[in-house]
Structure 1
Amino acid sequence: MNTFAGEIITLLLMAFALGMDAFSVGLGMGMFKLRLRQIFSIGLVVGIFHIWMPLLGMGAGRFISEKFGTFATYAGGLLLIILGIQMFIPGKKDESGSRENKMLAPVGKGLLIFALGVSLDSFSVGLTLGIYGAKTVVTILCFGIAATLLTWAGLLLGRKMQGLLGVYSEILGGSILCAFGLKLLFSL
C-alpha cells in the first residue's frame, strides 16, 4: 500500500473516531423535537466546525498542543454536561402541553455551543497533525464529512427514540450528554 493510501485510511479512522463525539451527542440532542430541516442544518454546522477546528489547530502549531489538548478535553466535557443538565430542567408548557426548548436548544447560540463542544477535540488533533505535516485539504475534508454523516445518524436515531420513549426521551438524552461529558473529564 502506498503512503498516500495509508494516510487516507489513517485520516478516515481518526475522522470516524472524532465524529463519534458528534454521533453520541447527536443521539442525545435528537431527543429534542427536531424537524428534518433542522437535523440537516445541525449536521452541516457540526461538519463545518469539524473542518475549521482542525484547520485552526494545524495552523496553530506545536507550541500550543501540549497545553491546549487537556484544556480542550475539559472544556468539551463541561459543555456536554451543561447541555445534558439543561435537558433535565423543565421548560414552560405551551398550549399543546409540550415543553418549550430550554436554554440551549440545538438552534442559534445553542447550536453553535453544541458544534463547538463536539469539535474541540478536533482542534487538538489538528495541532498534532500539523506537526506531522498531514495534507491539510484531505484532513479537513475527512473530518468534516465524517462529522456531518455521524451527526445526522445520531440525530435521526435520537429522533426515532424520542418518539418511542415519549416524555422520558429528554431525560435519556440529558443522561447521554452528561455521561459523555463525564467520560471526557475523567478520561485524562
Structure 2
Amino acid sequence: MSGYIGEFISLLFLAVALGLDAFSICLGLGMQRLRLKRIAIIGMVIGAFHIVMPSIGIFLGKVISGQIGHWTELAGGVLLFVIGAQMFFSAFSHEKQRVIQPIGAGLLLLAFSVSMDSFSVGLSLGISGVKTALALGLFGLISMLISWAGMLLGRKVRGVLGVYSEILGGSILIGFGIRLIFG
C-alpha cells in the first residue's frame, strides 16, 4: 500500500514539475487579459496535450525498454536529468521569445511546445514501467489546473514569477533524475 502512495506522490510532483513550464507561459498569456472562456479553452487544450504527448513517449519507452533491458532505469534518470537541466538553464536565457496568439493553430502550437518536455518524461517513464493511466491522468489534470492558475494570476501580476517557476520545475526534474540514477 505504501508503495502505491509513494508512486502517486512521486507522479504528483512530476506532474507539477511538468505543469510549471506551462504555468510560466500561461502567466505571460494571462497578462494579455484574456477572457475567461479563452482561458478555459487554453487550459483544456494544454491538459489534453499533456496526456497525448507522454502517451506517445510511454509507448515508445516500453518498446525501447524491451530492447535495452537493465539499463532502462539509468536511461530514464539521465533523460529526466537532462530535461530538468535544460528547463533550469533556459530560465536564464535572455533571448526574447515571440508571443504566440492562443487561437486556432497558434493554440495547438503553444500546447505542443509546452508539452514537449512531457513527451520526453513519458519516454523515460515508459522505460521505467510506471502506472500509465495514473501518470497520464495526473499530467493532464495538473497541467490544466496549473495553466488556468497561471493565466488567472497573469491577469493580476506582471511577470514576477515566470522565470522562477521554470527554475523550480527544472530543479524538480533534476532531482527525480538523480533519484532514478542513484536510488
TM-score (norm 1): 0.67
Q: How does 1:51-70 map to 2 (within 5 A)?
A: 51-61=51-61, 62=64
Provide the residue aligned with 1:33 in structure 2.
Answer: 33
User: Aligned partners of 1:31 and 1:108: how far apart in 2?
Assistant: 19
Provide the secondary structure at the position in 2 that maps to 1:110. Answer: helix
Give the deviation of 1:36 after TM superposition: 0.1
Tell me the percent identity.
45
Q: Which runs of 4 or more aligned residues in structure 1 lie more than 2 Å from their structure 2 counterparts after TM superposition?
A: 68-71, 84-87
Instruction: Encode CA deviations 1:47-74: one digit per residue, 9 max, x unaligned.
Output: 00000111100011237x78x9879x69
Provide the secondary structure at the position in 2 that maps to 1:116. Answer: helix
Give the deviation of 1:120 after TM superposition: 0.5
Provide the residue aligned with 2:181 in structure 1.
Answer: none
Task: Tell me which of 120, 123, 126 is aligned to 1:124.
Answer: 120
Task: Tell me which of 127, 140, 148 is aligned to 1:152.
Answer: 148
Provide the secondary structure at the position in 2 that maps to 1:107. Answer: coil
User: Aligned partners of 1:53 and 1:145: how far apart in 2?
Assistant: 14
Instruction: Encode CA deviations 1:44-101: one digit per residue, 9 max, x unaligned.
Output: 00000000111100011237x78x9879x69xx6xx999x5334xxxxxxxxxxxxxx
User: Aligned partners of 1:37 and 1:139: how far apart in 2?
Assistant: 27
Provide the secondary structure at the position in 2 that maps to 1:123. Answer: helix
Instruction: Encode CA deviations 1:118-145: one digit per residue, 9 max, x unaligned.
Output: 1100111101110111111001001011
2:98 equivalent to 1:86: yes
Using a 3 Å threshold, how does the CA distance of structure 1 residues 3 and 19 change in structure 2: closer, same or farther? Answer: same
TM-score (norm 2): 0.69
User: Aligned partners of 2:8 and 2:94: how far apart in 1?
Assistant: 33
2:125 equivalent to 1:113: no
Please list every run of 5 or more consecutive structure 2 residues that lacks an aligned counterpart in the other structure. Answer: 66-74, 175-183
User: Aligned partners of 2:17 and 2:33: how far apart in 1?
Assistant: 27
Provide the secondary structure at the position in 1 that maps to 2:115. Answer: helix
CA RMSD in angstroms, aligned pairs only? 3.5
User: Aligned partners of 1:126 and 1:85: how far apart in 2?
Assistant: 26
User: Aligned partners of 2:6 and 2:94: how far apart in 1?
Assistant: 36
User: Aligned partners of 1:115 and 1:123: how far apart in 2?
Assistant: 12
Please list every run of 5 or more consecutive structure 1 residues that lacks an aligned counterpart in the other structure. Answer: 88-103, 162-168
User: Aligned partners of 1:42 and 1:20: how far apart in 2?
Assistant: 15
Provide the residue aligned with 1:20 in structure 2.
Answer: 20
Provide the secondary structure at the position in 2 that maps to 1:32. Answer: coil
Provide the secondary structure at the position in 1 that maps to 2:97. Answer: helix
